[in-house]
Structure 1
């Protein structure tokens, strides 16, 4: 998949990202007690935000003159919003049944990475359009066909953080490659880069889990780190040469995705 332009690639007919349901319970363990309720609420917030953006944009298009085009696009956005709300219902159902809030255990691997990517792109499309952001997606075919496992929250959080960082008319690049036995996913942007007050590791990369966001919702990186560790991989957030930031997650290609 390769895309360059101001809009994400159009939605495909791939099945929607599938969550663990009541009828296919895997063996799970409860998450660590590091604010699990807030972590769970963060994932719901991401889904709700994307759904509401799609609904808002769909309703505003109803008043435009190009009625036929608006009807076609509105139907697509309403379906996307419906999917997001259904995902939230499934997450809540899962939580009420098992108490599990660990994102690495909420997403089942019967979806491919391509399914997860397409769903993430659909959810951020209104924000990309509204800000005039130039999005480039270049993910190798072998990565697209891999099981998604728990990677959807990593994609969603990385893209949302990049959108917030670049603002209007910015640039975001997403790449996925497999070399030897290692798969690497990279999300970079041309925003202002890492905040100077953000705690750093000795190598200069960001201390994941810290945040300078006033909203208090800056825990997406901590969730992503938890998922990277579950995949026996690593994750880093560094400054990008020339300005901006780079988030990179690397994991063994054959690591279990459950």
Structure 2
């Protein structure tokens, strides 16, 4: 009888320990550069077990809901990704290793901008000196050239090409930072198709990309994804491209732009 009693007690203690270990709590920590007192801010922290993601603040402090035994992944550009197992609920110090960069090797070749400039130069050789947009002074000094720039076929083509080239260059800049691998990494979407569907719903503007840091881009992408994920009808959201219940993020710092969402077409029934 005593043996059974002791086994029962041991079993209850084991179950209690397992239950305690599985309880979720808020872990606090600080991230610094390895072998240095320098803090590392704007680090993405992801619980690989629960898929919860958080960003550290500018001076490296972070909090995240997790459980004992879970694995946290710390990632930031120019640093080696780091995995840390949660062993207890004490504050966690994290040291990240900077990536050692080799000397840059420049490869000489034509960029997209150079290619487009060459085409514009060809238009100039055909007589369109102002890409179809003559300044006022040129109209006064050379009226015939000014009229040609405004109404000629070649300048008209030059204007259209310049407009399309500008859009193409801006889209290329967006694609450098906001692309399928980026979306999959920070949203947890597992396939290119799912990532592309979300990108059809939300893509930052060129002005956003120019003004935002990587931290800003991650923050706004996660905000947009949370609205997208919690919506019951994602297909409708993709067509509308803007749920009307989205409000401006009041936590954004001065100088940052709010997430840009297109308004739904009010003319549709």
TM-score by length of 1: 0.29
TM-score by length of 2: 0.28
